[in-house]
Amino acid sequence: MQHTTRRDLRLLPKAHLHLHFTGSLDVATLRELAEYADVPLPESLVDADPLSVPQTVRGWHRFQRSYDMARLVVTSEYAMRRVVQSAVANDAREGSRRLEIQIDPTSYAPHVGGLVEALEIVLDEAAVASRLHGVSVGVVVAASRLRNALDAQTLARLAVRHAGDGPGDVVAFGLSNDEHAGVTEDWSHAFAIARRGGLPGVPHGGELCGPDHVRRVVDALSPTRLGHGVRAVEDPELLARLVDSGVAFEVCPTSNVHLGVYESAADVPLRTLVEAGATVALGADDPLLFFSRLTDQYEMARDVHGFTDVQLADLARSSIQASFASESDKQTWLYEVAAWLASSPTPH
């Protein structure tokens, strides 16, 4: 029998830049927190992939219902800290050197005494988990398109108070939830507050909606990174503009398929983005609902899109360079990527 040799992608040093708070959970931890909170969960959420349905009925609302059900178990300081520890431990097992986890503290504030308390719990536990697991953990504070834009300004001011690039710091300001909701320009004031306070913008855009929406997000919010952004490939002029301006793409292939953006993993335009010169950082988005973690995205790049080990190392380098970690940390991790590439592959 002939054996192929491939490097272990779990050992590839990488940065994880697109991971949502409750969506980061694994099923075992979700069950644990549900028991702690005495909250019953539907079997579809813990025993089967709730989003594994035909493309014709995939979509945002099915996803959001499942996410909201999962969030019902995160209603205490203990649960919030447990989410952080679980996310970081899972990332550590997959070779992450840097995790930038995203949260809208508004959703958790009523359970722990307020917005300030909710954010400070997450930041404190991020610092603890960084030391425990050897992963540098930054936090992205994200406003929601389903809430008032004035609320986003409050969040931006709070985020700025904790801005930094180290473990347990707020590293960026985002905008998440249904891309169809709200008027993008309404959030420009919140993003301006964040920028003045030293926080780069990382709004979602260009997954559910097409290139016109990407253009509005870019024009109004001046992002440093785009959450998803894959639909920009439908407008080559726009894509070239984003590449030339250095906007990075947080690409989450499994998410794109489960939400019905693309029919299959082969349709995700990962290679198109890379060949256009884009800085791409692969992300898992919501592993709890998509049953696919960070290393799975790299395996998809290799097995579905034909990326070589050299190209996979380039993706890892891109993720590190697109992170908001310190330059000294980035250089350390880039050296480790080179060491992985120089290592001997193992037989499979």
| Section 1-9 average pLDDT | 71
Q: What is the pLDDT of residue 274?
A: 98
Q: Could you tell me which CATH class the domain 13-341 is placed in?
A: alpha beta
Q: Is 207 a catalytic residue?
A: yes
Q: Residue 128 pLDDT > 80, yes or no?
A: yes
| Section 86-102 average pLDDT | 98
Q: pLDDT-based confidence at 1, cuts 50/70/90?
A: very low
Q: Residue 60 pLDDT > 60, yes or no?
A: no
Q: What is the pLDDT of residue 49?
A: 52
Catalytic residue of the set 100, 179, 207, 250? 207
| Section 250-259 average pLDDT | 92
C-alpha closest to that of 188 among 144, 232, 155, 219: 219
**Which range has the worst mean pLDDT, 2-6, 109-113, 193-197, 290-294?**
2-6
| Section 58-83 average pLDDT | 77
Each residue's pLDDT tens digit, 149-201: 999 999 999 999 999 999 999 999 999 988 788 899 999 999 999 999 999 99
**Which range has the worst mean pLDDT, 7-16, 69-78, 108-117, 316-325?**
69-78
Q: Mean of the per-residue pLDDT values for the chain?
A: 91
136 vs 263, which has greater pLDDT? 136
Q: Residue 48 pLDDT > 60, yes or no?
A: no
pTM higher than the cut 0.85: yes
Each residue's pLDDT tens digit, 263-287: 899 999 999 999 999 999 999 998 9
Q: pLDDT-based confidence at 347, cuts 50/70/90?
A: low
Residue 119 CB contacts under 8 Å (≥ 6 apart), including other chains:
103, 105, 139, 141, 158, 159, 162, 170
| Section 198-207 average pLDDT | 95
Q: What is the pLDDT of residue 4?
A: 61
30 vs 298, which has greater pLDDT? 298
Q: Residue 209 pLDDT > 90, yes or no?
A: no
122 vs 53, which has greater pLDDT? 122
| Section 84-105 average pLDDT | 97
φ and ψ at residue 52, rounded to 5 degrees: -85, 85
> What are the extents of the domains in the chain?
13-341
